[in-house]
Chains A and B, each alone.
Chain A
Amino acid sequence: MSVSFTTGDEDEISTSEHERGKNRGKRNSNDKEKKKKGNGRRKASREREGEEDLQDRTEKREKGKKRRAKNDLDEKQPEEEDEEQVKVKNGKVAKSKKNLKNETTRKIEQEKKEEGDAEEGKSKKKKKKEEKDRGKQTEKEEEKKKKHKKETSEEDNEEEEEDEEEKEVRPESLSPEELEKLKEAVDEKKKLIQGLRGKPWPMKKKLVTLRESQEFVEKYEGALGKGKGRKLYAYKVMMTKKWMKFQRDFENFKTACIPWEMKIKEIESHFGSSVASYFIFLRWMYGINMILFGLTFGLVMVPEALMGRPYGSIPRKTVPRAEEGSAMDFAVLWDFGGYAQYSVLFYGYYNNQRSIGWLKFRMPLSYFLVGVGTVAYSYMVVIRTMARNANESGVGDDNSFNFSWKMFTSWDYLIGNPETADNKFASITTSFKEAILEEQESRKDDNIHLTRFLRVLANFLVLCCLAGSGYLIYFVVRRSQKFALDGLENHTWWERNEVNMVMSLLGMFCPMLFDVISALENYHPRVALQWQLGRIFALFLGNLYTFIIALMDEINLKREEEKVVKFNITMWEASLYNGTVSENSTASPITIHPADIPRGPCWETMVGQEFVRLIISDTMTTYITLLIGDFLRAVLVRFLNYCWCWDLEAGFPSYSEFDVSGNVLGLIFNQGMIWMGAFYAPCLPALNVLRLHVSMYLQCWAVMCCNVPQERVFKASGSNNFYMAMLLVILFLSTLPAIYTIVSIPPSFDCGPFSGKSRMFDVIQETLESDFPAWFSKVFIMVLFYIQTKIQIAFIQLAIYYLQSTSKSYKEANVELKKKLQTVTLSELHVVWILLLTFEINLCFEIRALVF
């Protein structure tokens, strides 16, 4: 704001000199007039203030004149200019102050001269109105243009002086237009109060302005509105005040509720914003998982545990006879077998009873909706955060200010640690030097062939690694199936946990391998980091999908088994029935303990168990690597350094750095597994909350006690949205298999909330048929049918939302800056528009299809 003021002023100064002469004359006469008026008319109490104000202004003007004269003589006097800048601001405040004083004088005068009002005649009122109108106009113009500041303010002053000459009328007798004006003025003051914190003024000035504006608002708010409307208005005003206060308190409360603020702050000051960004991401993830946990815990696990049939009442809720002996062993429980398997933690425990307890809680429906809601909520949150980030970070991929950004924005003000600061100095220097070198010689291309060859080789090696790890996982999963068929008891611990261990180990060592390979490529560190991230991403994704494919095989195996079991059960029942019938003809009810009843393999629980095991082993590896790789290393380096032949701290092993990108990727994939498995194991979000909670403390501690600040201090920069985009991809990829299994594989016949149905989503139809009137289900099915065909539209809508918010930020950038970006925005808007158009066309088709 004030910037443009200054520049505008300067322009004026340099361009139009004779105009200024005119102004000067005007000003002189004005001042005299004002002094006269001030001395003559005002009441004692007002007089002092008013005069001060006036004198103040006069002084300023005199100074201004002198300054201008000087400026005319020689060119820019630095200090003076600065002063001027301040002055312009002062002028603004003074003006608002003055405005206010005018109003307040009026008010007081008003009160004193109540009687004289009537005769004051309408002519004056009219005149005043006109002038006020003019004043308003000029004010608005000034706000828009800002260049003619001096003249308009001069006019303003004149007019306000004239305003003062007139006697005020009471608010009750004001015409509606004037009331409107007053209202506007009050609103303006309110706006001023709201925008005050965004003004670069010293606190004192802000305080004074705030108090005066508030006084003004309070004085005039009551006067607004007439008769009945008045009360309502006062009420409204009071409510808005209360609401504002509430909002502020709520805001305070919210910030007080944000956990780990101090921890993160401490890390920020030691390691800069990039390491802290990981912890902020971790905290964000924790929040999401808390909500997912609340959903599954409150709507699925607790109702089933409290109101569902108790343990041991039916086969699916009982440990089978064969496993009873070992069901309480720690090794079995650690594998989530035994009693853990037959509990609310897993899908198989839930009964297909339509409603449970005295609340008539619809368990299967709730289970299904929570599953869907989890995914929907996650999508919403991720996309909303992405859109907000995109708005905040603005349009940052412009490369035209490379040097200036390095210069003006490279210091991370959060750094409070001297060591980090030294690293930062060094990294800034090298970045300057690099940039200069790059600028000087665009690129050496003497050994371009060698570089190319090395890069191709590196990529080939990486691909080999990826393929190898994929095959390894597939091989191991198949082998474990063989073991499972043999019976787990005959195998060693390693053979039982092979799959998870192999996956964790691959996730640990492959990135290191990639790091070594990337040394071949000789990329710029930032580019190298991106490649590294991409490769790790591919590795994790490949591993996860191999795992899922192997799991699918296993599901199919289980379903084959299930068919056999189902057949056997009918045989068994028939024989049982026949047997009892033959023994005693008086058919007494057969009582068999539920543990003895044969049952199917329940593939859903198996899937859930696999995921839980995966999460557990992943967590364990993370913690153990942390302890060995960071803590033990730090301890060894620290204490062996006293009796070693070279400097361990500065030399080879040294302390470890915190690997932000690797950790973020780990977190993202962990979340992907949660999303994938949560439907079959409702305990997963709870486990994840626990894991994240422990991670927060453990990693905070590890970072503070055994890591050193990074040598190259990267900033958090726009990478936040990069992580978010990865999270979105993972979310999409992890919901795909889950949706596939839900939609296309029939649920097990004797376990889980959907047993006995041909598909899991049949539960919706069932609810519709039995719980709602017929017309409702018809309408709903129509809508559902409509939506089903519209899934792609939903995605387009999400895309539109995202594009819209980005285009908004583009627009803002446009308004604030030049018209350089306009074409981009237009094209962006164009895309949105086209999408909308296709959407509409699609809609038409659909409607037509429905009609015919």
Chain B
Amino acid sequence: MGTTASQLGKDLLSEYQELTFLTKQEILLAHKRFTELLTKDERDGANSRLPMDRILTLPELKSNPFRERICHVFSTSPQKDGSLTFEDFLDLLSAFSDSATLEIKSHYAFRIFDFDDDGTLDGSDLEKLVNCLTGETDETRLSPEEMRQLISNILEESDIDKDGTVNLSEFQHVISRSPDFVSSFKIVL
């Protein structure tokens, strides 16, 4: 722990505390876990990127159906390969932390569910979402007819302006009424 603390620097640490919903211990733990995933020579570089496939070996993300989306959303990589720097990683943990606000959680949830990154949830996004939720095996998949029914029901409920898609404000409207979104949209290291 001592070594990681010195690596992070006191000022930076306090800035991270200011900017995230994480406590000092959590940031240090995150740093430790992050550096564990880096290879030897990557560790020396201050802002080294961790490729997505190595991030997904974290047990916290391993069985999450949205793991790749999560990486893509939080990645600031210019190549859009879902790789994360430590700061991106902190952003991820902050948004998924216990004390993050509903607003920020719902914002990121929307971006995670927005598979094609077009700013709205349309039919194909919702279809992909349902497929993620029902798992990869064929027996749990919904039939096309059920899928159509489900998506039309969802749009009927949450598409307030009736443009055929769910936009962010509609999404947040729906989410903010849900009793258990905040408690389940959590990832803790």
Contacts and interface: CB of A to CB of B under 8 A. Distances in A.
Contacts of B135: 421-422, 425-426, 429
Interface in A256-289: 256, 265, 268-269, 273
A414 B113 contact: no
Contacts of A193: 18
Contacts of B169: 3-4, 7
Interface residues of A, number: 80
Contacts, number: 214
Contact of B178 (A6, A210, A251, A396): A396
Contacts of B101: 198
A433 B91 CA distance: 36
Interface in A701-741: 715-718
Contact of B174 (A207, A211, A408): A408
Contacts of A398: 177
Given A85-B119, A210-B19, A396-B177, A429 B142 contact: yes
Contacts of A401: 157-158, 174, 177-178
Report whether over half of chain B's contact residues are helix, strand or loop; otherwise say mixed.
Answer: helix
Contacts of B54: none
Nearest to A716: B183
Interface stretch (B1-9, B37-45, B125-133): B125-133
A413 B64 contact: yes
B59 interface: yes
Contact of B21 (A197, A202, A273, A407): A197
A439 B167 CA distance: 25
Interface residues of B, number: 76
B79 interface: no
Contact of B140 (A429, A715, A716): A429
Interface in A400-434: 400-405, 407-418, 420-422, 425-426, 428-429, 432-433
A716 B21 CA distance: 22
A381 interface: no
B106 to A, nearest CB: 9
B32 interface: no
B87 A203 contact: yes
Contacts of B184: 273, 409, 411-414, 715-716
Given A716-B180, A716-B183, A813-B177, A411 B171 contact: no
Given A400-B157, A407-B130, A413 B63 contact: no
B119 A81 contact: yes
Interface in B112-152: 113, 116-119, 126, 129-130, 133-135, 137, 140-142, 146, 149-150
A7 B161 CA distance: 12
Nearest to B87: A203
Given A396-B179, A401-B178, A425-B134, A6 B63 contact: no
B119 to A, nearest CB: 5
Given A82-B117, A202-B87, A439 B157 contact: no
B94 to A, nearest CB: 7
Contacts of B87: 202-204, 207
B65 interface: yes
A82 B118 contact: yes
Contacts of B183: 273, 715-717
A817 interface: yes
Contact of A252 (B24, B60, B113, B134): B24
Given A408-B171, A429-B134, A402 B157 contact: yes
B168 interface: yes
Contacts of A426: 135, 140
A502 interface: no
A762 interface: no
Contacts of A79: 117-118
Contact of B63 (A268, A409, A417): A417
A155 B141 CA distance: 55
Contacts of B20: 197
B15 A207 contact: yes
Interface in B37-70: 59-66
Nearest to A76: B118
Given A248-B17, A416-B63, A202 B140 contact: no
A234 B146 CA distance: 66
A199 B101 CA distance: 10
Contacts of A407: 126, 129-130, 133, 150, 154
Contacts of A255: 23, 25-26
B185 interface: yes
Contacts of B188: 265, 268, 414
Contacts of B107: 2-3, 200
Interface in A266-319: 268-269, 273
B167 to A, nearest CB: 7
Contact of B60 (A82, A269, A422, A425): A269
A85 B134 CA distance: 31
A380 interface: no
Given A251-B23, A439-B149, A414 B176 contact: no
Contacts of A202: 76, 87-88, 91
A278 to B, nearest CB: 14
B108 interface: yes
B146 A203 contact: no
A207 B21 CA distance: 14
Contacts of A85: 119
Contact of A197 (B18, B64, B109): B18
B90 A203 contact: yes
A78 interface: yes
A2 B106 CA distance: 12
B120 to A, nearest CB: 8
Nearest to A272: B184
A151 interface: no
Nearest to B179: A396
A413 B142 contact: no
A196 interface: yes
A433 B146 contact: yes
B33 interface: no
A413 B186 CA distance: 6
A416 B187 CA distance: 9
B66 A411 contact: yes
A404 B15 contact: no
A403 B154 contact: yes
Contacts of A420: 63
A717 B180 contact: yes
A718 to B, nearest CB: 4
A421 B130 CA distance: 15
Nearest to A277: B183
Given A411-B133, A439-B153, A3 B15 contact: no
A200 B19 CA distance: 11
A723 B5 CA distance: 41
Q: Which of B88, B95, B174 has the most CB of A within 10 A?
A: B174
Given A251-B23, A256-B25, A395 B177 contact: yes
Given A396-B179, A421-B64, A429-B140, 7 more contacts: A199-B104, A200-B95, A256-B25, A268-B188, A405-B181, A425-B65, A813-B176
13 contacts: A3-B107, A6-B168, A82-B117, A196-B18, A203-B91, A211-B15, A393-B180, A394-B177, A404-B154, A408-B181, A409-B175, A409-B184, A429-B133
6 nearest A-B pairs in the assembled complex, by CB-CB distance = A396-B179, A425-B135, A78-B118, A203-B87, A421-B63, A717-B180
